[in-house]
Structure 1
Amino acid sequence: MAVFFSILVLISNVWCTQCTNYQLFQSNMVISNFSHKSLKSVPNNLSSWTTVLDLSFNNIQTLLTSDFNYLSKLKSLNASHNEILDLDNNVLELNTFLEYLDLSHNKLRNISYTFPKNLRHLDISFNEFKSMAVCKGLGNLLQLEYLGVGASRMLKSDFEAIAHLQLHNVFIVLHGLSDYENGSLLMLNTKKLHLLLPTHQTDVYNVLYDAVNTSTFLELSNITMDNLHSDLNFSDIAKNSKVSKLTLRDIELQWGILIQAIQYIWHTSVEFLHLYDVLFLGPIERIIFDYSKTSMKEVFIQRARVGVFTFNQNYVYRIFSEMNIERLTINSAHLFYMVCPLKPSNFRNITFSNNALTDDLFPLCDNLHKLETLELRENKLEKLSKMSVMTSNMTSLKHLDISHNLLQYDQETCHWSKSIITLNLASTSLMESVFKCLPINIKTLILKNNEITRIPMDITSFNGLEEINLAYNRLTDLPDCTFFSSLMLLNAENNLILSPSRDTLQSCQRVKQISAGHNPFQCNCEIRSFITQGKNSPGRMIGWPGAYVCEYPEDVKGIQLQNYYLPEIYCNILLLIPVILFPTVFLLVLIFGLCKYFDVPWYLRMIWQWTRTKHRITRKNKDYKALENLIFHAFISYSEHDSTWVKNIFLPSIEKDDGSVRICLHERNFIPGKSIIENIINCIEKSYKSIFVLSPNFVQSEWCHYELYFAQHKLYAENSDNLILILLDPIPQYLIPSRYYKLKALMAQRTYLEWPKEKSKHGLFWANLRAAIHINLSDPEEQSTSSVSSNNA
């Protein structure tokens, strides 16, 4: 309950920065946040329904009864980090529902009144109490779970009044401690004891001696060379310990002293050792560590660094690699590698996350036969095949996490451990080729947030695979489940699936649960079978119906699939043919009869002949003038993403060594010093034709848009047929931005050349293209000479 309220107050701090009256109404709670407002007193305009009140980080000096007596619903009060000196007698007497109270980081010297009996969390640490006598008034708080205190004197009698309380967590600040009576901490009845050691050197031997016998869960913070005597006898403290879980935070010790302390802890009752924010100070030397006679099961290190630049890293890594424990975790410690144990290890779980480990981790390591779980997320791993070789000797390995690494697979042979059943490859930038390098007995495969577009057809079937996560990839259809005969759960959320095909739906009939929401569904006839499955088995489609919404076309965007309806006549061609055919035939017969009656064909032939004659005369006159200024047969416009096709296929196939065909390419023909716009216009003007290579990449390029605009301008201004459109990849209409309305019009009005995928059709394609740009142009040098001669004349 105390943790719940502390989280709730933190959430309110974020939300209420946007609130004008600093009050947030959430379900049956009213949260009032007045933190960081430079207040000198408690506001008097609070809602009487307030349940959570945050007054932290202000300048309040006094809390009065009148400040809270009307807040009968108050459950949480945070008045920490103020300058409170005094409290009214029984200031919170009427707040009987109060469960969370934080008065830490103030200037209180005494508390003489009774707190509400329902209080579960009380923090009065970081005040100016002279002794722990403040605890004498807390004996009636039978519901109390968390207590935070601190004083300069600590006596047994101070804790006698609360010895009967069943506390979950006691936090004691030892800053300024000058007098400690032996056995005082032993009066406490708590599951967890957390001590914040003093900043400066103080005799804490007796405190620690009692602390290790107070509870089974002990946490020590602020462990530095400044607050520990160099002659502190860790051995005596460790001998009498009953602690099973020991947590050390904010550690700044010499390497030798810290390892010596761990050595003493190793032979005690401690089973779980957690270290947070560790700084190893020099010198770092080789230390002989005795791993025998221990109860230790887990060593956990979060955020560690070394305070020296030059040292033998093996001295550090060898201490941890030889530990005869089940679980070892070293996170955020800048690890570059880890040495292999010298003898068969007891490790069952190893976690090295958020480090700098490379592919050379555990090379040819043959002493990790008991290892079952290995987590290496957020490192610098690169080769997937090397990761497989690393696991080949780990005969018991079941769960491997190498997510959030920039992995590559270059078709090398993979040698995974046959025991692996769970593999996490999320956020590794892998493509569909990864399916050729997977453990054969895999049961759970996580490939979330990668670059997978499909599942290859030439992969080995994974008959044991039960769960596959392909969310946040680039799939355009649900994967073919033929290769996964035992698949139970398929996740394909947040991909590029427009309409799941009937074939893939049919192949996934045995899959018990499918999660395919948050895809850009195109609501048309093809998606009707998918909608039918969603309606008939909503429990099978995870997230149905809220996560399944139409994205295209625009007129149905935002409609849930279950509410989308398309009449049968629009999708059934057998019904559509007679509806369209009969009226069309009747209309054609009617038009033909009217044309015959009014002799329309004769008039049309005459107009056509006149237009062609007129066009030939005009075109002939213009062509002779226009050809004088032409230098290139064609100017080519393309997206930079399609440059490989243009340079490696187009240019070698069109241009010849004799220079008879000249293509204007911006990379070699733009004139340095001129603006890009000026170069584009100049190249279009001096080219007989303008070729545009259309693809989805083309419509994303702003410069391609400019080039198309100027070429079209020339088309209409000069009434010339100068545009050639090459469709390299299909472009769905919905992908073309609205600003490309001219491109939509051109594609609808003009015939374009479509690049054939079959090599047998390439010859005809190039023949048509050469014929379209064929024209006799004079050599550019001849034009230049002619121009100079005419100018001199």
Structure 2
Amino acid sequence: MAFIPFFVAWMFIFKTGYSLCFPAENNIAINNSSSSLMAVPSNLPNQTEILDLSQNRINEIHIQDFASLHRLRSLNLSINRIKNIANASFRSNQKLECLDLSKNELLNIECQFLHNVTSLKYLDISYNRFLSLTLGIVFRFLKNLEYLGLGSKEAMNLQRSDLKEISRKQLQEVSIGLESLSEYDPGTLLVLRTKKLHLVLPSAGSSSLFTMILRDAFMSSNTLKLSNIECYEECSNYIIGFKALGNFSRVSNLLLENLTMTWQDIMGIIQPIWDTKIKNLSITKITLSDIRSAVFQYSDRVLESLSIRELRIIVFYFTQSIIYNFFAKIKVVNLTISNSDLIFMTCPEQGNYYKFIDFTNNSMTSDFFFQDCHFLNLLETLILQQNMLLHFYKVSSMTQYMKSLVHLDVSQNHLTLNEKTNCLWTNSLKILNLSSNRLTDAVFSCLPSNIEILDMEKNNINIVPKRINNLEMMKELYLGSNKLVRLPECNNFRNLEILFVEENSYHEPSSSFLQTCPRLTRLNAAFNPFSCTCHLRDFSRMKENTQIDLLGWPESYQCIYPEKLRGTLLKDFHLSEVMCNTGLLLMIILGSMIALAAIMGLTCHFLDLPWYLRMIYQWTQMRRRVMMTDILQLNENLTYHAFVSYSQHDSRWVKEQLLPNLEERENPFRICLHERHFIPGKGIIENIITCIEKSYKSIFVLSPNFVQSEWCHYELYFAQHQVLSEQSDNLILVVLEPIPQFMIPSKYYKLKSLMAKKTYLEWPKDKSKQRLFWANLQAAIGIKLTTSKEETLM
């Protein structure tokens, strides 16, 4: 169970020994049991606190064996062959609290070796070869002694004087093995002052001896355990002995252990017990050799608790109702029948007092068990753990008349549920344990509405449906070791305080479920296959951002995926806000793009980047056209590299800028100017046509002055005519100054058309750009004319 029930019925369970005799987490413990040792090892660590040397072949204990173990607290030497223990063997072990010497070969019960062991609380010297149980004076000085185990393998007598050294000690428990007892001095057990007395009884051959022992035992302690009650044919001596309980018994808690007898004899023993002041009766390890109907006088006396454990029936055929009717008629508050062969239980009769019923580890089924039972109105706790229950709806209908039932445990069964089945529950149920069954998601449609604590660990639940019965009272929910693929939301149980969902199958639990669980204070989500992605980022910060107690944190929360993060603790897993916030990431990208565009725009504006790019593109295109030109054909027809057409108002720029950069280079160009190369006597139109035809390119220096010149218009006309007739690309437009469209006369419509369709070179005022301008212009002309011509051909 993952939770502790709010109500646990008190039942008498007699246990021997104390927890100090067993290893604790922080103790240094050495276990050398069953190691075939002939002597105590000499290499034991000095820090040893708990030492187990049981079930070996040790014959003797010497002074030096434990001399170095100053921190020794618990020593187990049981089941060896020890015959002698040196008197000062434990003088260095002042912290020794637990010593077990049972089942050895000791002869002297005076135990002189116990001198100076003042811290001893637990001592078991039973089942040795003592000839007498006369305790030595050393027992008088064991001031802290709480448990004492006595007994002998040899035939012995038990006298009052044997126990006088402990008669004034208030012990917690005394256990005496009396199997080999031959004589008993009446009143001997009355010498003891102990809260719990355990007697391993001798055979009941002598009724007087047995009766005397039982009478004294019933008067010596509040809690009594009697073991080894066996009778296969005649049990009258036991029955007579138990009748001695009477009204003078001090016993209120009685445990009977290792019983072998018939059902009739069991009833014969229980009958006198029922009529005494005993409140709690526990019977453990019962073997029934025969089951027949027996007479039992049911009285109105109510027993506080009746516990029957490990009931074994060795007969094959019997009437089962004989057993069931007994439990249906007796009056007891707390009933336990566990680890037995019980397959059924009838409905108790009206007027019963049952508040607690525990039928753990039997073979019960739910087909007819307690169905339509109207007489369990007082029952508060019902435990049916580890049985053969199959039908969940039968469990629910079983409870509908249990008006006081608060806690129901049906864990470790084989329960299943049909989705279309209706479930009937008592309204009083608060705690329900359904763990370790075969239930699926459908179980959420069949739960009691007032449930506060629900345990459904170790089932086949994949998801908690959103449409389920309203469970507003739910405070604790345990869903560990299922197949959950996501964390459940608390829309239907908004008062949830504790949630266990460990060892499931969800990969990316989101902390958003906390918004539906405002009262959650404790969460166990350990040992799940966490995928360490953005979806897990908020969950991994839950411990820091909330007051929720996260069980198992941080060592039980590790990444499984991606592979590079496998084994990483969730507390060490971090992703930035940018990587996980899509909106923020888009804003950053868009902002970066806008900023980049702005920077590029400003850069272009201040550095005139488009102009540079355009000029580079023009230079590349010009170089390509030049490479494609037929050089041989050109050399036959051309004299000049370029004819320059310009307005007289722009002649200064032509002479000071254009001509030096074209004619005064390493491989100078031959430039045709009207001032130098027009032939006197010829008509101007004829000279223009001749110069254009003899030039590879025609350069037009465009400016507002150009469009005002009539002769420039003629030169442009003829140059364009040559382009159209020869399908060549010999025009180079150089814009010296910008020409507004409105300044171009209508007769220059061809110039407008050329400037709209043809790429032109702009003269930059910035000197840093002029080198690129000349490079482009030279590249546009850049053809090599091998034939030298005279300028005066005309």
Q: Which residue of 1 aligns with 2:331?
A: 324
Check conservation: 1:344, 1:369, Cα contact below 8 A: no
Q: Quick check: 1:285 aligned with 2:285?
A: no
1:310 to 293, 311, 317: 317
Q: For the structure 1 residues 31 and 468, does the alpha-carbon distance in structure 2 shift closer, same or farther, using more than 3 Å as the test? A: closer
Superposed displacement of residue 293, structure 1 = 5.0
Where do 4+ consecutive residues of structure 1 move more than 6 Å?
A: 578-586
Equivalences for residues 741-780 of structure 1 within 5 A: none
Q: Compute the displacement of 1:95 (Å).
A: 2.1
Going from structure 1 to structure 2, the CA distance change for 1:211 and 1:99 (only over 3 Å counts) comes to same
d(CA) in 2 for partners of 1:315, 1:188? 41
Matching residue of 2:62: 64
- Give the direction of change, closer, same or farther, for the CA distance of 1:137–1:227 in structure 2 (3 Å limit): farther
Equivalents in 1 of 2:87, 2:552: separation in Å?
Answer: 55
Residue 486 (structure 1) shift: 1.8
Contact 1:198/1:227, CA 8 A, preserved across alignment: no
Amino acid across the alignment from 1:461: N
* C-alpha spacing 1:297/1:534, structure 2 compared with 1 (3 Å): same
CA distance in 2, matches of 1:334, 1:150: 34
Structure 1 residue runs of 5 or longer lacking an equivalent are 12-25, 587-597, 599-793
Q: CA deviation at 1:235?
A: 4.9
Counterpart in 2 of 1:35?
33
SS at match of 1:297: strand
Residue aligning to 2:264: 256
Counterparts in 2 of 1:372-391, with a 5 A limit?
Answer: 372-391=380-399
Secondary structure, counterpart of 2:357 in structure 1 = strand
Q: Give how far 1:199 is off.
A: 5.9
2:228 to 184, 207, 222: 222
What's the CA shift for 1:515? 2.1
What code does the residue aligned with 1:311 have? F
Task: Supply the distance in 2 between the matched residues of 1:426 and 1:314 (Cα, whole angstroms).
Answer: 31
Higher RCO (C-alpha under 8 Å, 6+ residues apart): 2
Q: Which amino acid aligns with 1:87?
A: I
Against the structure 1 CA distance between its residues 300 and 150, is the aligned structure 2 distance closer, same or farther, given a 3 Å change threshold?
A: same
Q: CA deviation at 1:394?
A: 1.0
Task: Please list the CA deviations of residues 525-559 of structure 1 after superposition, one character each: whole Å capped at 9, or x if unmatched.
Answer: 11122223321125443333333222211111222
Q: Distance in 2 between matches of 1:124 and 1:235?
A: 29
Matches within 5 A, 1:508-587: 508-577=517-586
Cα 1:351/1:543, change in 2 over 3 Å? same
Between the aligned partners of 2:17 and 2:344, the Cα distance in structure 1 is 41
SS in 2 for 1:212: helix
Does the alignment pair 1:480 with 2:481?
A: no
Sequence identity, in percent? 37
Number of residues of Structure 1 aligned to a counterpart in Structure 2: 572
Specify the alignment match of 1:742 in structure 2. Answer: none
- Alpha-carbon displacement from aligned partner over 1:654-701 (angstroms, at most 9, x marks no partner): xxxxxxxxxxxxxxxxxxxxxxxxxxxxxxxxxxxxxxxxxxxxxxxx
Match of 2:714 in 1: none
Amino acid at match of 2:192: L
Structure-2 change in CA distance of 1:228 and 1:198 (3 Å): farther
Is the contact made by 1:199 and 1:226 (CA closer than 8 Å) also made in structure 2?
A: no
Write the mapping of 1:81-120 to structure 2, written as runs, cut at 5 A: 81-112=79-110, 113-115=112-114, 116-120=117-121
Q: CA deviation at 1:338?
A: 0.5
Q: Equivalent residue for 2:364?
A: 357
Q: Call closer, same or farther: CA 1:578–1:400 in 2, change over 3 Å.
A: closer
Corresponding residue SS for 2:237: coil
Q: Which residue of 2 aligns with 1:464?
A: 473
Is 1:174 the counterpart of 2:181 in the alignment? no
Return 5+ residue gaps in structure 2 as ranges: 1-15, 598-619, 621-794
Deviation at 1:499, TM superposition (A): 1.4
After TM superposition, give the deviation of residue 120 of structure 1 in Å.
0.7
Give me the CA root mean square deviation: 2.6
- The aligned runs of 1:332-731 (5 Å cut-off) are 332-359=339-366, 360-410=368-418, 411-501=420-510, 503-577=512-586
Distance across 2 between alignment mates of 1:252 and 1:408: 39
Q: Does the 8 Å contact 1:373/1:400 carry over to 2? A: yes
Q: Give SS of 2:309's match.
A: strand
Q: Secondary structure at the match of 1:231?
A: helix
CA contact (8 A) 2:210 2:237 kept: no
User: Structure 1 pair 197/566, CA: closer, same or farther in 2 (3 Å)?
Assistant: same
How far is 1:244 from its partner? Answer: 0.8
CA distance in 1, matches of 2:524, 2:33: 42
Match of 2:147 in 1: 146
1:49 deviates by: 3.0
Which amino acid in 2 is paired with 1:206?
M
Q: CA deviation at 1:573?
A: 2.7
Deviation track 1:386-413 (CA, whole Å, cap 9, x = no partner) reads 1111111111111111111111111211
Question: 1:22 maps to what in 2?
Answer: none
Range with bigger deviation, 29-38 or 298-307: 29-38
In 2, Cα distance between equivalents of 1:556 and 1:393: 55
Q: Distance in 2 between matches of 1:456 and 1:571?
A: 28
Contact map agreement 2:302 2:331 (CA 8 A) in 1: no
Cα distance in 1 between the residues matched to 2:60 and 2:113: 17
Asked whether 1:211 is paired with 2:217, we answer yes
* Contact kept? 2:336, 2:358, Cα under 8 Å: yes
Identify the residue that residue 297 of structure 1 maps to in structure 2. 304
Which whole-Å deviations, capped at 9, do the CAs of 1:23-53 have from their partners, x for residues lacking one? Answer: xxx75x4433322222222222323333222
The Cα of 1:447 is off from its aligned counterpart by 0.9
CA distance in 2, matches of 1:235, 1:275: 14
Is the partner of 2:244 in helix, strand or coil?
A: helix
What CA distance in whole angstroms lies between the structure 2 residues aligned with 1:553 and 1:199? Answer: 71
Q: Which residue of 2 aligns with 1:714?
A: none
Residues 395-436 of structure 1, C-alpha deviations (whole Å, 9 max, x = no match): 111111111111111121111111111111111110111011
- Kindly indicate whether residue 247 of structure 2 is the aligned counterpart of residue 247 of structure 1: no
Q: Distance in 2 between matches of 1:316 and 1:573?
A: 71
CA distance in 2, matches of 1:322, 1:200: 31
What's the secondary structure of 1:172's corresponding residue?
strand
Query: Are the aligned partners of 1:267 and 1:295 in contact in 2 as well (CA < 8 Å)?
Result: no
CA contact (8 A) 1:135 1:159 kept: no
Q: CA deviation at 1:201?
A: 4.1
How far off its partner does 1:479 sit? 0.6
SS in structure 2 of the partner of residue 544 of structure 1: coil
